[in-house]
Structure 1
């Protein structure tokens, strides 16, 4: 019985889809080991395999025609280091779960994405981010990563032993192995106050762009690309317990009188508290509450990163397409990310501005729009989010990452048999040359 409990639990049931429901995985076989021995066995016995996180990617990055592997049933095993400077976890842990544990111990990670439901390993593997001029993406908190290679060997990447090797592997797109443990840098817990302003005149971006994005610890602009205005300006400021009142207007934008959803017509009941109500970092940095679990996004997402120096011109280029975009858009979000040195990070080597599109579930029309948007953004050296929808070809992608060839060499060295290679990696990284 003990042996059976440790066995990998394999499902060949109904077809499974991603969170948004826009993509059905090519395999019905899912391995769900709950012990380390079963995990290792599941990796060793398969010729082809792909790790699956919380299914929040919108493209084929986690797809497999053979079988997938989830670590969701493994022990989260959240452990603070003795010096309280880092925390180690099972990579399948969701950020919301980790955040609650850290808060109980008086600690925090530096930033969180819009949704707290995503897994740490999946978010870091794709370069997912929050916002803030001085905040790197979520991957920049990783100080150590343990991975099982295709041959069953355990490989540890650590900044203490080889910083450049860690930088090469953190944003790995699932191409190097299965992440079993991660160590993240932490800091003392802090509080945040969130304020929302409406109808920021678009012209203010031309002269006040830096002031707008430095107005808080984390800043987001929400727009539907209509008219000469930005719909909402969300400012998340670190709270210190003292009076931190905000003016009624800033740069022509008016302070909201009530809680708002990024799409104003939708109830804000599932959004994190606004109106300057101070709260714990993990209850303010995401836009949505952890206890709100979206079962289906019923949406599509794309996101494009441009150098901060090109951001205003890039934003105006998209506003020029506003009437064409609007019929298929739910909302767009614009955020800032500090540059990093992670080889495949969309913010590699440059402070970046991310332009995010949340689309209606209308792939027929969205698929026609994306090449037009990408053509507008190409002059600004745009890079796409690896886990969202884009149409760039491989030659373009290789041209945007100076360490791409080095990463492909690392990938072939880590996985010479191609166990973790799927159509996404073949199309975007490997078929060149």
Structure 2
């Protein structure tokens, strides 16, 4: 099998040289996440450029936490000791045109990888709403896009390289490692640092998206499956202030003839007459092109363009996954909280995700619907709302997004993740001393 390298990893760095140049000490500068709601608990951060530098840093520190593009809204990537950023591990390693796979360093962003793949004639099956996020960070938290037939971003992974607590390199393959592979991919940062990922590809494709406004909420009762299946990727946006879904974004492939033209009405919704932002008050300048204008997959699947600050920016986010066959009842439960929720909310998004086999994925073995909340940055108010929302969603065994804000107890999480005990055994195997453990993992995984 021949491989055509694009950008090769350097293998010349030594362990000794890795101990000093890759580390920045910033005692007077606070490191924050993307939204600014999290100030990390240390200012000691390493920026390795090679796998060898990652190995050396891990070997020489008792406690380390991997850090991606800082888009998590909770402390899953926090550390009181040392952070290791994958920011400079951002290269394409090889494109295998026979196996139809690409191998990349873990810190590469989807917005950097996607144009390269498109130029070479390839595509990934799905993208998240933001292209600004890294491959490794996205898969380890089960980040997703939308589509009844589309799994989360981790479902494209067929191979993975991990540096564990002893500094050793471990490789995992979907083909060879079976259940261990399913335990490792969505690893919550608990198993080590992901330095390399191999993704399955498909031929590149063109897409268009149409947006419809004011979909009557009652239509979900009778036509939910038809609505969310109306395109390759469908998103419903609502602020829970009325009996309508504010906007329906339908993203379709050009070979889907059912969506070649805008419809005069869509289950009672009307077509938008201009590009829209999910938050109606904001300019659509940052959003990907709408109005049926064709474009490559990576410029239509995300909601936001790579070159712009996405969404609102100063915000908080929460998200809960419920079984798809119970989605309408779950939506109705949240709608009843509309008056409590809406004053503190920018917008909610409702999306579908296909089931997968990853132990710690919120979509593990069940077709899911995700109820997403983009909050105004008022944690005291949001922290009081989340337990109320979680109580309403309890009958549906809602699972939270690992990178977003929730208040569910470790006991509740243990009851909803049936493979949690196996996952903890896997973590003990690769990190017996808890080098990658932090307060978040101790609270959510290990206090049950």
* TM superposition score normalised by structure 2: 0.94
Q: Is this contact kept in 2: 1:20–1:296, CA < 8 A? A: no
Distance 1:301 1:314, change over 3 A: same
* Aligned twin of 2:366: 350
The 5-angstrom pairing of residues 254-333 of structure 1 reads 254-294=270-310, 297-333=313-349
**1:274-293: per-residue Cα shift (whole Å, max 9, x none)?**
00001000000000001114
For 2:279 and 2:219, the matched residues in 1 are separated by 22
Partner of residue 211 from structure 1, selected from 226, 231, 240: 226
**1:173-200: per-residue Cα shift (whole Å, max 9, x none)?**
0000110100001100001110000000
* Aligned twin of 2:3: none
Q: Is this contact kept in 2: 1:195–1:274, CA < 8 A? A: yes
Q: Is this contact kept in 2: 1:33–1:71, CA < 8 A? A: yes
**Which segment drifts farther, 2-11 or 285-294?**
2-11
For 2:141 and 2:40, the matched residues in 1 are separated by 18
Establish whether residue 11 from structure 1 lines up as the match of residue 24 from structure 2. yes
**What's the offset of the Cα at 1:157?**
1.1
Q: Is this contact kept in 2: 1:192–1:238, CA < 8 A? A: yes
For 1:12 and 1:294, the matched residues in 2 are separated by 29
Q: Is this contact kept in 2: 1:21–1:296, CA < 8 A? A: no
Q: Is this contact kept in 2: 1:191–1:279, CA < 8 A? A: yes
For 2:196 and 2:89, the matched residues in 1 are separated by 11
Establish whether residue 172 from structure 1 lines up as the match of residue 184 from structure 2. no
Q: Is this contact kept in 2: 1:8–1:39, CA < 8 A? A: no
**What's the offset of the Cα at 1:169?**
0.8
**1:3-35: per-residue Cα shift (whole Å, max 9, x none)?**
797554211211111000001000010011112
Q: Is this contact kept in 2: 1:78–1:98, CA < 8 A? A: no
Partner of residue 44 from structure 2, selected from 25, 29, 46: 29
For 1:224 and 1:275, the matched residues in 2 are separated by 23
Q: Is this contact kept in 2: 1:125–1:174, CA < 8 A? A: yes
**1:84-103: per-residue Cα shift (whole Å, max 9, x none)?**
51110001000010101101
For 2:237 and 2:211, the matched residues in 1 are separated by 10
* Aligned twin of 2:9: none
* Aligned twin of 1:105: 120
For 1:389 and 1:106, the matched residues in 2 are separated by 38
**What's the offset of the Cα at 1:158?**
0.5
For 2:223 and 2:131, the matched residues in 1 are separated by 30
3-state secondary structure, aligned to 1:395 = helix
Q: Is this contact kept in 1: 2:90–2:104, CA < 8 A? A: no
For 1:273 and 1:227, the matched residues in 2 are separated by 27
The 5-angstrom pairing of residues 109-148 of structure 1 reads 109-148=124-163
**1:260-304: per-residue Cα shift (whole Å, max 9, x none)?**
000111110110000000100000000000111459821000000
3-state secondary structure, aligned to 2:92 = coil
State the number of aligned residues. 432
The answer for unaligned runs of 5 or more in structure 2 is 1-11
Q: Is this contact kept in 2: 1:43–1:49, CA < 8 A? A: yes
Distance 1:84 1:158, change over 3 A: closer
The 5-angstrom pairing of residues 149-164 of structure 1 reads 149-164=164-179
**1:359-392: per-residue Cα shift (whole Å, max 9, x none)?**
0000010100000000000011100000000000
Establish whether residue 83 from structure 1 lines up as the match of residue 101 from structure 2. no
Q: Is this contact kept in 2: 1:19–1:295, CA < 8 A? A: no
For 2:287 and 2:349, the matched residues in 1 are separated by 15
The answer for unaligned runs of 5 or more in structure 1 is none
* TM superposition score normalised by structure 1: 0.97
